[in-house]
Amino acid sequence: MDPVRIDVQSERAPYPVVIGAGVLSQAPSFFEREGLDQVPVIVSCPPVWRLHGERLTTLSGGASAALIGDGERAKTLGTVARLYDAFLERHLDRSGIVAAFGGGVVGDVAGFAAATYLRGVRLVQIPTTLLAQVDSAIGGKVGVNLPAGKNLAGAFHAPRLVLCDPELLATLPRREFRSGLYEVVKYGVIASRGLFDRLAGNLSAIFAHNITALVPLVAECCRIKAEIVGRDERESGPRRALNFGHTVGHALEAITKYRRFRHGEAIAYGMIAAARISARRGLMTEDEFEALQDLVRHMGPLPLVTDLRGGDVLDAITHDKKVVDGRLHFVLASGLGSTATVTDVTTVELAEAMAAIGLRV
């Protein structure tokens, strides 16, 4: 199966996303084709580097990676400061390249460091998780968390190249793989009923890491995101659709100090909450709501939320970066395959949605 190339439009310059089994082994040639002719500083995390680091020996010139912690708790300004030190030690200058080799956390943190070190150096994303391959590695949004909320310190810094190799997903723990699938569900809800139905009908092959099932799945998500980002890179309008499920999801992560949920798990709850409001407003049918809820539940267990308070979630939502001029921009589903962004979701509607996903209200 030949690699799939998708070009993403960006303010700075278009950049390619290359999806295919084995593209990691061809990384040096892809770098060369895009004029990325310097040895990059690779940023990774210990589990990824231990499993796959030797596959980048040629690209890195034999140098070891700058390693950061794994998981949302590593998405801090302190981690970024340590990366600055690593860049200085490796004599990274303004013509240099940072290559993020890991999941969404590595991509976000390395990307933010690349965006702000020397006012910006070139960035390459080599995502190693399903969630990063279908979502976070594309679009140029990078950042870190603050105690008050997720991704409150960030920047737009488009990569020069994204390499997605689904073969890397074979080493993911099932829970981590499933976390990425929830983002695939999101793309089906916001843009493609066909994708939603194919995911629901092919879960066995997908969970078995069947490459012929995975490559088209990843590629379709990348195409959807590339199209949306190409129209609205800085999230002034259409790109808000990508936040479906994220308002409540980010709040759940924040109130549990990023310790309980994988990102996709929190988004799964957030999607059900948003869909509950959508159905109550008549934007989607009860059957469509049930189809979404059933798919999420069928994919596997989610962490319990019955001990969490809906009021705490509502408080966290007030700090969400999607609050503009005091109004929360909330993404609802218009059936399965499209969205509507509204600014009039009430606390009563949110409370009902919290109860629907099992929180105490």
Point out the residues that are catalytic. 119, 141, 183, 225, 235, 239, 243, 246, 250, 263
Residue 192 and residue 223: Cα distance in Å, rounded? 11
8 Å CB contact between 132 and 222: no
Alpha helices in the chain, H assignment, sequence order: 27-33, 46-52, 57-60, 77-89, 104-116, 130-131, 174-191, 193-201, 203-207, 211-231, 246-255, 263-280, 286-299, 310-317, 347-356
Residue 5 and residue 27: Cα distance in Å, rounded? 14
Residue 231 and residue 312: Cα distance in Å, rounded? 35
Give the DSSP per-residue string, 212-256. Answer: HHHHHHHHHHHHHHHHHHHH-TT-SSGGGGGGTTHHHHHHHHHHT
8 Å CB contact between 48 and 55: no
Please report, in angstroms and rounded to a whole number, the separation of the first and last CA atoms in the chain. 51
Residue 221 and residue 184: Cα distance in Å, rounded? 7
How many helices, marked H, and strands, marked E, lie in the chain?
A: 15, 13
Residue 82 and residue 297: Cα distance in Å, rounded? 39
